[in-house]
């Protein structure tokens, strides 16, 4: 069965520091991978997605993620965190189109210290 693991429930970083959020997945077919961000009280917004091709993908707000098939990972990174990045981040996996649905991890809450 498909599953997504986000090992870190809560991460705290200082503003300006680098960030890496971990995501591991279990999926039988070629995975489509996503990172979403949720600000408090809001819905989820797509940060980036990977379908195929270059394994390093760029997203909005200066985020990037790298797909590593051998490690079944899709970690999210940002070189320098801003206070406005404080939010909850969700990794998700699915397959190509059709009636497929996404499977989400349980999320990582990011706190940014001034």
Q: Which residues bind other proteins (CB under 8 A)?
A: 9, 32, 34, 36, 41-46, 49, 51, 90, 92, 94-102, 104-107
Q: How far is the CB of 53 from other proteins (least distance, A)?
A: 14
User: Among residues 40 and 114, whose Cβ is nearest to other proteins?
Assistant: 40
Residue 18 Cβ vs other proteins, minimum distance, rounded to whole Å: 25
Of 99, 89, 100, which is closest to residue 32 (Cα–Cα)?
A: 100
Using an 8 Å Cβ cutoff, are 7 and 25 in contact?
no
76 and 47 Cβ atoms separated by less than 8 Å: yes
Residue 40 structure tokens: 């408090």
Comparison of 8 and 15: residue with beta carbon closer to other proteins: 8
């Amino acid at each position: 069965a498909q599953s997504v693991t986000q090992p870190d429930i809560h991460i705290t970083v200082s503003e300006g520091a680098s960030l890496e959020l971990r995501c591991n997945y279990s999926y039988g077919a070629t995975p489509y991978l996503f990172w979403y961000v949720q600000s408090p009280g809001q819905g989820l917004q797509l940060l980036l997605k990977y379908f195929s091709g270059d394994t390093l993908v760029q997203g909005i707000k200066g985020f990037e993620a790298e797909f590593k098939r051998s490690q079944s990972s899709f970690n999210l990174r940002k070189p320098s965190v801003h206070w406005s990045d404080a939010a909850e981040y969700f990794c998700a996996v699915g397959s190509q189109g059709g009636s497929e649905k996404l499977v989400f991890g349980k999320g990582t809450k990011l706190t940014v210290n001034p």
